[in-house]
Every structure is written in C-alpha cells, then in structure tokens.
C-alpha cells in the first residue's frame, strides 16, 4: 500500500504517519526526518539543506527527490510506504509518479489532514516548549518566525497538491482537529474505503 500524508506544519502528520506505519506494517518515510538526519551528520545534502530548513523554506525539489528515490527503492518499502512530508510541490508529485511508474507502481491514496490555521502556531510552540521541558532537541524551525514561512510555503506550494490529487480521484480528507485516536481511526477508515474493504485490521 503506497500512501501520501498531506497536511500543514503542526497538523499531526508525523504522529499519524508513525501510527499508520505501525498499524499497516509498512515504513514511514519522513523527508523532514531524513533531511534533519542529513544536517546533523553533515552530509552534502545536509549542508545544502540546512539554512533553508532553518528559515522555514522548502529545500530544492531535486535534492529531496534524490533522498526519496533512495528510500522508496529499498527492499523494506517493497510492500508499500507512508510518505510524510513528500511531495510538497506539484513538481515533486510528478517526480514521484515517474519513480513509481518506472517500477510499474502507483499511489493508492493521498490522505489530507485538515486543520484550521489559527491552531497551528499554538501546537508548534507547545511542541517546542514541551521538548525544552523534557530536555529533548527543540527543532530550530519551531519558532514563530520560521512557522510563518512554513505556512506561506504550505499555502503557496503544497496546498495546490490537494486539487492535483483530487482530480486524480485519490484524495481523502480527514478532520485533523479531532483527538489523536479519532484522527487515527478516521485515517484507517479512509484507507479501507479507498481499498474497498470493510475494515482494516490494525497490527497489534
């Protein structure tokens, strides 16, 4: 099963992607995590991505596509994957299609988490505050200033993807303002509907 999870920063994409990956037994591929790992280990991709990530901007398409191409061709992604944070532009969506097409594969569904913009800042600042209290690493882009840029980028470059995937008939939207468990159940229901099965038996 090949799934894309779409949603603005702070919509709960990461949380839900991890849960879905566990429940479905397929890997979660988060481009944000991969890029942060590249920055912290100082790879050439990381060095190129660092400043733009810190400001809240989007990393150039070709860099991210290169990172994703390596992952989706790995044996652990053979039975599918959940893409979290990719694609973020229509050009990335087209590159993804080309990568999959080359292996005669396609996307099964695109799940969109819908969350009002006015709750996102509170969620992000809360995450930064909690990370600090628990002495976890605080993301350098979890600031009011960077979030403004992240939201602008989302609206301008990522939101058009909803129309793109809606026109292909594979977009399913879920209310991301509900409690975490309800959002998780709604996502599973949406996948089951897409696959035309009555219910998905989540893994223990």
When CB distances to ligand ADP are compared, the closest residue is 32
Binding mask 139-158 for ligand ADP (x = CB under 6 A): --x--------x--------
- The single residue of 2, 19, 36, 150 carrying the catalytic annotation is 150
Query: Applying CB under 6 A, does 86 fall inside the site for ligand ADP?
Result: yes
Q: Which residues inside 15-44 make contact with ligand ADP, applying CB under 6 A?
A: 31-32, 35
Residues that contact ligand ADP, how many (by CB under 6 A) = 18
Active site residue 157: no
Q: Is 58 in the site for ligand ADP (CB under 6 A)?
A: yes
- Does the active-site annotation cover 127? yes
Q: What is the 3-state secondary structure (H, E, C) of the chain?
A: CEEEEECCCCCCHHHHHHHHHHHHCCCEEEHHHHHHHHHHHCCHHHHHHHHHHHHCCCCCHHHHHHHHHHHHCCHHHCCCEEEECCCCCHHHHHHHHHHHHCCCCCCCEEEEEECCHHHHHHHHHHHHHHHHHCCCCCCCCCCHHHHHHHHHHHHHHHCHHHHHHHHCCCEEEEECCCCHHHHHHHHHHHHHHHHCCCCCCCCC
Identity of the residue, 91 or 197, whose beta carbon is nearer to ligand ADP in the bound complex: 91
Which positions lie near ligand ADP, rule CB under 6 A? 9, 13, 31-32, 35, 52-53, 56-59, 64, 85-86, 88, 92, 141, 150
């Amino acid at each position: 099963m090949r799934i894309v999870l779409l949603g603005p920063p702070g919509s709960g994409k990461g949380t839900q992607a991890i849960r879905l990956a566990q429940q479905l037994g397929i890997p979660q591929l988060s481009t944000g995590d991969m890029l942060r790992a590249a920055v912290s280990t100082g790879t050439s991709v990381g060095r190129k991505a660092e400043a733009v990530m810190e400001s809240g901007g989007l990393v150039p398409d070709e860099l991210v596509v290169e990172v994703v191409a390596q992952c989706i061709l790995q044996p652990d992604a053979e039975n599918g994957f959940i893409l979290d944070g990719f694609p973020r532009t229509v050009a990335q969506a087209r590159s993804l299609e080309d990568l999959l097409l080359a292996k005669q594969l396609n996307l099964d569904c695109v799940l969109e988490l819908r969350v009002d913009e006015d709750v996102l800042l509170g969620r992000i600042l809360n995450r930064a505050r909690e990370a600090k209290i628990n002495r976890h690493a605080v993301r350098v882009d979890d600031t009011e200033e960077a979030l403004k840029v992240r939201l602008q980028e989302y609206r301008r470059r990522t939101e058009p993807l909803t129309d793109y995937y809606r026109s292909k008939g594979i977009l399913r939207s879920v209310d991301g303002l509900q409690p975490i468990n309800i959002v998780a159940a709604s996502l599973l229901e949406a996948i089951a509907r897409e696959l035309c099965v009555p219910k998905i038996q989540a893994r223990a």
